[in-house]
Structures are given as C-alpha cells and as structure tokens.
Amino acid sequence: MKPSAPGIAQPLARYAAWRRAGDFVFLSGVIAVDPGAKKIVLGYDDIPDAAATLIGRTGEFSTDMKEGPILAQSWYVLDRIRQTMEAAGGQMSDVFKLVQYFKNLDHFPHYSRVRKQFFPGEPPASTVVEVSAMLPSADILIEVEATAWLPQR
C-alpha cells in the first residue's frame, strides 16, 4: 500500500498520488501523462492495442484523429485510477465520487462511454467541470480525481 507503487498514477510534482484518511482513500487528479517517460497520451497509439479496440478505434483516419485523443486519455486516466485503487488494496467499485475536469464539455459523452467500462454497475457520484487549461500542456484534455471508501482491516 505504498502511495508510490509502480503502475499507479504518478504525480508531476511533489505531492502524493493518493492518501488514506481513516476508511477513505483520496486520489490526486490524474491526467494522461507518464512522467517517467515524459510522454503525454495523444491518441490510440499511446495505449495498448486491446484497449484502443475496446474503446472504439475504427481504423478510419479522420474519425480516429478526432475522437482518439479524448477516448485514449479517458481510458488511460481511468486505468491509472484502477491501478492506484488496487495498490491501495481496493478496486474500482470502492470509488464513490469522481470529479472530472474537461477542457471541452463536448468530450463528456466520449469519456462517459469509456467510464462505463470501468464502472459497469452503479456509477460513482460525479461532478463535471469545464476548465480553461490544465498542466502540463494544452494537449491534456481531461483530469479526474477520485474518492473511495475502503475500510481498514
């Protein structure tokens, strides 16, 4: 249960990826960046092929160029949240609240399709906000923070 375990969302600066407070786990905002590789997820080519196919890669250049960035970033962010929850000893069903920040609210329907794959049952309570910019680059389209209830054993 180390807040810096491999595979989890990694902070871009000096802050924790997640913290426990009693039975609650709070995740910092997660963006589609691998700070170790200094790489931003820009589209389907930056995520595993199986994930790209699952979330909607069509093979049509114009469609994939338009939808690929938000779909790939959505998958990457939610998968990092999943991995972080597992590192904390939980699972996605323990997440009860998400705050989702978008540069463009028109991306929400695409993100929502991907989110259903990570939360196939009852979805978490959610807040959706449009913002003007996100760190570290204009290429970042979405940031998601999560709160989970995970009783200590």
Mean pLDDT for each consecutive 10-residue tract of the chain (153 residues)? 54 77 95 88 97 96 96 97 94 98 97 97 96 94 97 85
Q: Which residues contact 43 (CB under 8 A, 6 or more apart)?
A: 64, 65, 68, 69, 72
Q: Say how far apart CA 89 and CA 150 lie, in whole Å.
A: 8
pTM comes to 0.90
pLDDT score recorded for residue 12: 58
pLDDT score recorded for residue 1: 46
- 18-149 homologous superfamily: RutC-like (3.30.1330.40)
Tens of pLDDT, residues 15-59? 788 999 999 999 999 999 987 788 999 999 999 999 999 999 999
- Give 110's DSSP letter: H
**CB-count exposure of residue 98 (10 Å: 0-12, 13-18, 19+):** buried
Strands 18-21 and 24-27: antiparallel
pLDDT score recorded for residue 35: 78
Structural domain boundaries of the chain? Answer: 18-149
What is the full DSSP assignment across 50-74? Answer: HHHHHHT--S-HHHHHHHHHHHHHH
Alpha-carbon 73 to chain mean position:
7
